[in-house]
Amino acid sequence: MYKARNENGTIVVYSEQQMKHKFNRFQLNDGSDVNLFYTSTQEVLEENGFFDVVVPTLMAGERLGDIYFDEGQQIFAYPIEEIPIPPAKTAEELQQESLTSETEKYIQRTQDGENAYAKISAEFRLAKLSGGISEEAHAVIESTLIPVRNEVLAGQWISGLRELESIGSGIIGIDLYTRLLNQFNDYIAANYND
């Protein structure tokens, strides 16, 4: 059984265990102290502002409202409220949401493609400047990867993967091919899951 009282304008609800813990010793309204206050009679509890809390049984689609004091019955009670059901979306609204979501994915994939291409271009340039690859090798790799680049910059990572697979490792080398293949597969697994 729960008890509640109005404490400075706020209704505070106490379980039986909380009553035992918090109100073992209590100063009554008349100024006297009482030990084991929680065991007091209903009359003494009510004289000191503690009234029963009545919790109604809820049905599907219902929830408890804010607790209040029922003056007539001298109890704290909860009103039952219906849980509002949001209105169904129209076919046009659902279609617009779907289009917006897909557009946002393409924008993100395009931005990710720009970032990935900028990173690999910077790596190629640094490798060329440091002598890691020749100017001719750099030009061959860049021109070979143009179809892959075009797809990725358009946010088409799956098509870009197909282009990479059709190029193979012969011209760009197995290490670069494997690294790009893994990058594509990881990106597609993380971003094409629906």
Residues 98-153: tens digit of each pLDDT: 999 999 999 999 999 999 999 988 988 898 899 888 989 889 999 999 999 999 99
Residue ranges covered by each domain of the chain: 3-82, 91-191
Structure tokens at 79: 């009103």
The vertex-45 CA angle with 43 and 50, nearest 5°, equals 125
Q: Please tell me the predicted confidence (pLDDT) of residue 194.
A: 63
Under 8 Å CB-to-CB from 107, ≥6 apart: which residues? 155
Task: Mark the ranges of the chain whose per-residue pLDDT is less than 70.
Answer: 194
Show the tokens assigned to 62: 């219902």
Spatial CA neighbour of 26 closest among 15, 40, 42: 40
Cα dihedral: 129, 132, 137, 141 (round 10): -90
pLDDT at residue 192 in the model? 87
pLDDT at 110: 94
Contacts of 51 (CB under 8 A, 6+ apart): 3, 4, 5, 45, 69, 74, 75, 76
- The whole-number pLDDT of residue 45 equals 87
User: Pick from 104, 106, 108, 87: which is nearest to 96 by CA?
Assistant: 104
For residue 107, the model assigns a pLDDT of: 94
